Amino acid sequence: MSDIVTPGDVLGNATEFKAGKGAYVNDNTIYASLTGSRRIVSPLPDSPDQRAIVEVTGHKAHGLIPETGSVVTGRVTKVTARMASVDILCVGPKAVHEKFAGIIKQHDVRATEVDKVDMLLSFRPGDIVRAMVLSLGDARAYYLSTAKNELGVVSAESAAGETMVPISWTEMQCPLSGQTEQRKVAKVG
């Protein structure tokens, strides 16, 4: 059986199948994590789990996919009072070949004083952030966290169009104008 599927398409039920390459499980449902052909693979005869494996194969099947616990780099596309939307560009040091979306929720920005986090003072559209994948989230986006010192904004542009320099864990400064802006800055080093 082979059908063309795209990320978020339902591939089957986790009671009937095991998730293989290009697939993930959320609430007992198996979803495609990339575009390609849906394929059912018989389990090995000596395998203790005799469920068939459902997987997605295609020209992008071996591309990098964000996984829980992996550190990703992304560009902030939108910031609201409750969350920041991110386009994931890299998993670890490697660039991804397809588009993955991420969300940083207000309570995942930092480890302390989470109730005092102001999303609009933590991130701005265009910022480059380093974050950890918390979970696969929903079919539309991965849930990300910047709640460790080494996670947060790694690069930001000032109003003058200059790359800003971090001056503390909450501020970045424009080298041209000297103006400072609030951010959740990633600790370097």
**pTM score of the predicted model:** 0.67
Higher pLDDT: 65 or 108? It is 108
Cα–Cα distance measured from residue 138 to residue 8, given in angstroms and rounded to the nearest whole number: 8
- What 8-state DSSP symbol labels residue 112? S
First to last CA, the chain: 50
Q: Read off the pLDDT band of 2 (50, 70, 90).
A: low
Cα–Cα distance measured from residue 111 to residue 6, given in angstroms and rounded to the nearest whole number: 35
Give the model's pLDDT for residue 121.
95
Give the model's pLDDT for residue 59.
52
Higher pLDDT: 10 or 189? It is 10
Mean pLDDT within 44-55: 87
Domains of the chain, earliest start first: 2-57 (2.40.50.100), 71-182 (2.40.50.140)
Q: Read off the pLDDT band of 1 (50, 70, 90).
A: very low
Cα–Cα distance measured from residue 126 to residue 92, given in angstroms and rounded to the nearest whole number: 20
For 37-51, 75-89, 169-183, which range has the lowest pLDDT when averaged over its residues? 37-51
Q: Mean of the per-residue pLDDT values for the chain? A: 89
Local structure of 15: helix, strand or coil: coil
Residue with tokens 């609430």: 27
Cα–Cα distance measured from residue 112 to residue 82, given in angstroms and rounded to the nearest whole number: 17
The single-letter code of the amino acid at 7 is P
Higher pLDDT: 159 or 174? It is 174
Higher pLDDT: 60 or 164? It is 164
Per-residue pLDDT reduced to its tens digit, 109-161:
998 888 889 999 999 999 999 999 998 877 789 999 999 999 999 999 988 88
Residue 64: other Cβ atoms inside 10 A: 18
Residue 44: other Cβ atoms inside 10 A: 10
Give the model's pLDDT for residue 119.
96
Structure-block tokens of residue 34: 């990339």
- What 8-state DSSP symbol labels residue 105? E
DSSP states of 147-184: -STT-EEEE-B-TTSPBPEE-SSSEEE-TTT--EEE--
Please enumerate in sequence order all residues whose Cβ is within 8 A of that of 55, keeping only pairs 6 or more positions apart, or say none: 19, 20, 21, 22, 23, 38, 39, 41
